[in-house]
């Protein structure tokens, strides 16, 4: 009788601890996505398989890079082929350097709807600097708040340039001027 009571107390205590941990995760972990948890639990996430027997889970809710500028249809002057709105800059955090300095990945894309190549892309970038070397032919600071993309050469329609930089904070990057090629 005494042994049964002890087992009951141990089981009850274990269950209380388990539920307390689950509740703490659900309430206090900001990156926890309840909808994703439920879709995984109930098997409703998208999945696909190839002929080789590889299964891939797809999760369309994830977004690695943050859009620095919102995409909007540019107000074009009649006869103008492109505008700075045709260049989209996305960036987001990646794994830190071994020294612990945060790193960020930047993607610069030409999304010109009229099929234009865009050159002399200048970006506002403050006092941009990086603890990790950035290829100056891809992105370099010319002056305060003026960085040049692709060494001034055209970024072809649909083209994307990417690079990583390391700094203690994320730089706000936005397109300041472009030239249509």
117-150 pLDDT, tens per residue? 999 999 999 999 999 999 999 999 999 999 999 9
- SS3 state of residue 156: coil
> What's the mean pLDDT in 77-81?
60
Could you tell me the residue ranges of all domains in the chain?
84-180
88-118 pLDDT, tens per residue? 999 999 999 999 999 999 999 999 988 899 9
Tell me the pTM: 0.58
Across the chain, which distance is largest between two alpha carbons, in Å?
92
Token representation of residue 36: 């994703």
* Architecture (CATH level 2) of domain 84-180: Sandwich (2.60)
Burial of 110: CB neighbours in 10 Å, binned 0-12, 13-18, 19+ = buried
4-57 pLDDT, tens per residue? 665 555 556 655 555 555 555 444 544 444 443 433 334 444 433 344 443 333
Task: Give the pLDDT band of residue 86 (cuts 50, 70, 90).
Answer: very high
């Amino acid at each position: 009788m005494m042994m049964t009571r002890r087992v009951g107390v141990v089981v009850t205590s274990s269950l209380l601890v388990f539920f307390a941990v689950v509740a703490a995760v659900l309430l206090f972990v900001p990156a926890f996505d309840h909808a994703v948890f439920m879709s995984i639990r109930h098997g409703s996430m998208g999945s696909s398989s190839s002929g080789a027997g590889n299964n891939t889970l797809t999760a369309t809710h994830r977004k690695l890079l943050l859009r620095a500028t919102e995409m909007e249809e540019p107000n074009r002057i009649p006869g103008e082929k492109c505008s700075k709105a045709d260049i989209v800059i996305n960036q987001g955090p990646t794994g830190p350097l071994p020294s612990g300095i945060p790193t960020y990945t930047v993607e610069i894309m030409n999304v010109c709807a009229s099929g234009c190549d865009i050159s002399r892309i200048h970006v506002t970038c403050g006092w941009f600097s990086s603890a990790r070397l950035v290829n100056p032919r891809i992105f370099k600071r010319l002056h305060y708040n003026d960085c040049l993309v692709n060494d001034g050469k055209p970024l072809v329609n649909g083209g994307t340039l990417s690079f990583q930089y390391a700094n203690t904070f994320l730089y706000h990057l936005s397109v300041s001027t472009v030239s249509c090629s």
